[in-house]
Chain A
Amino acid sequence: MSKDNNPEFLLNLLERMIEIREFEEGVRFLFLEGAMPGTIHQCQGQEATAVGVCSALGKEDYITSTFRGHGHALAKGLSMQEMLDELFGATTGCCKGKGGSMHIGNIDKGMVPGVAIVGGGIPLAAGMALSLKLNKNPGVIACFFGDGAVAEGAFHEAVNMASLWNLPVIFVCENNLYGASTRIDLVMKNTTISERAASYGFGGETVDGNNVLAVHEATKQALTRCRSGQGPYLLELLTYRRVGHSRRDPGHYQPKSERQDWFSRDPINYFASRLIADGLIDAQGVKELKDTVIARFEAAVKQAKRAPMPTLADLETDVFAAKEPA
């Protein structure tokens, strides 16, 4: 039995997606009740992109993310605790409370803290891949960005150089149809983003981003190409965000029929139904999985609320690295 038909592997994919959904729903509640500072950009509905990509990556691989990075972080192995502590601004957070929601990350777990300038992480990912290549390191960079970033110069400059130099980077475009409130067809004439790759001389494809196994499989193939020195790949993952752009956005610009259409293809329901049909789990099992995740989340929230806050002694630290001895 290959890994991809392994029940443990499949159930783990489901659990990771449920973990992201429940984390986001719980965090949304904490924001709305005013318990959490700052702002949030959430990814409910996009769980299969994060989990599908990251489940294909190895420990030697890295991801870059954006301001909408909670799902990527959980999928890459960050703990709910280090993330919640960060969201509360505590020193025990993954960025010591200095990053917050938009800069979630843990480099030891292979995730660069999120770059919240649209497109800003794309050249960064190409540069990380260049460093791996110069050092003959086998790792690959998976670079997450949204459809909005494709209009940025940073995208075009970075993919051109990545292609030119055959850099080991997978450009993962989560096309959720909206850049903030603006629909994709208002900002680009060719809305098939994967076709951009051909004009820069490399490969790309459009994949159902709500199908976690399809995303996983496409990522595996892209990884094989990258690891064998064939250069970058552009994965366009079609998906949909079930929530507003940021915390108080009701998303009125998403037509009701469109929402209903996408909600009927929800990545978690879709995959759970498949596993139920295959007899790997039943409806009660899915509910138990969800309850377990929620219990873990609630315990982590309880701890995060008691986590130590920075003091003024932390204000001016971490600006510069100590000088390397000559």
Chain B
Amino acid sequence: MKRQSIAEALRDGIVEEMQRDPRVFCIGEDIGVPGGWGGAFTVTLGLHEKFPDRTINTPIAELGFFGIAVGAAIMGSRPIADVQYGDFLFLASDQIINNAAKLRYMSGGQLSVPLVMRAPVGATGRGSQHAQNMERFFTCVPGLKVVAPSNAYDAKGLLKAAVRDDNPVMIFEHKLLYGSKGARAEPGAVDATSDIPEYDFTVPLDKAAVIREGGDVTLIAWLLMAHFSHAAAVDLARSSIAAEVVDVRSLSPLDWNTLLASARKTGRVVIVEEGPKSGGVGAEIAAGLSERLPGLAIARVASPDIPVPFSPTLEHAYRPDAARITDAVRRLLAH
């Protein structure tokens, strides 16, 4: 057992999978430069020394190298492609949405696309174009699996499960949760370290996790918002309000069993999302819960419908926090 950050756990996970399976390779920008960064957030640091032939450092050409990753995957390779910032997925989206997600269906099952994609998301003092929460743009695409780990254990386990899955899997990682060190450390980072066992383990790609139990209200969140929801639950406990916190983890498919079990138990749900309120993953969760449990009390805490702002005061107002989650719970309980 060792205490690791998400960046360290992902790094070990990638190395272990590459050792286990020679078909696995990494492809991305700045991932294999001697003396370089190991990707934008140090996840692939040192990888090129262990696997010089399977650490493929690309030009700045997201459309091209995501397409190359898809092409390699249909031939039986198992690529792990990453972008430096999730926002750049828009450049690659033709290959992800039109090819990776559809080739199996439109070929009548002839092809499979065992592709892992990794993308950092979240507002972190970088203005509007290195900041978006991209989850919503990919959870609506049939043929893709989408996961979002909030801690190092889940990050490693989900990555390993994704590499072993025969389908395209998008992993969203939050910049404030990596625990990147040195020059790549993030101001405002949140501790997402876990005790990581020495043995091989995976985390299923389709299961949510109840990270705190309670009977009065359910908080549904993922990535950074799972941490803030947990902090809100701790705060609410001081007022004798028992909040259950569900870390969604699997954004597509959604684990309706776990979400519904908690919603049935508490009868009240607050969905917390970093990103514009309109059209988010939270909207889908709210709609799905109401269809299945008519009469359920639901509230959403999310960002306003604006681009991510730069100025720290404005960015702070953009990103939901524990205080706003607590307020939303109190308002819901007051009804």
Contacts and interface: CB of A to CB of B under 8 A. Distances in A.
Interface of A: 93-99, 103, 105-108, 112-113, 115, 117, 120, 122-132, 134-135, 153-154, 156-158, 160-161, 164-165, 317-324, 326
Interface in B19-73: 25, 53-54, 56, 58-59, 61, 63-73
Contacts of A319: 104-105, 142-143
A135 B94 CA distance: 27
A97 B109 CA distance: 11
Nearest to A320: B167
11 contacts: A106-B110, A113-B110, A124-B74, A124-B95, A127-B71, A130-B56, A131-B72, A153-B64, A157-B67, A161-B61, A320-B143
A96 B112 CA distance: 15
Nearest to A153: B63
A105 B104 CA distance: 12
Given A97-B108, A105-B110, A323 B166 contact: yes
Given A123-B67, A153-B64, A321-B166, 17 more contacts: A98-B106, A103-B106, A107-B111, A108-B110, A120-B94, A122-B67, A127-B68, A127-B71, A127-B74, A131-B73, A154-B63, A154-B67, A157-B67, A158-B67, A160-B59, A161-B58, A323-B164
A95 B104 CA distance: 10
Nearest to A165: B56
Contacts of A165: 56
Contacts of B112: 321
A117 B98 contact: yes
B74 A120 contact: no
Nearest to A129: B71
Given A318-B104, A322-B166, A130 B110 contact: no
A95 B70 contact: no
Closest 9 interchain pairs by CB? A127-B71, A123-B67, A157-B64, A96-B108, A127-B68, A131-B75, A321-B166, A157-B61, A95-B108
B107 interface: yes
B121 to A, nearest CB: 23
A260 B106 CA distance: 38
A125 B75 CA distance: 10
A134 B54 contact: yes
B99 interface: yes
B258 interface: no
A134 B77 contact: yes
A318 B67 CA distance: 21
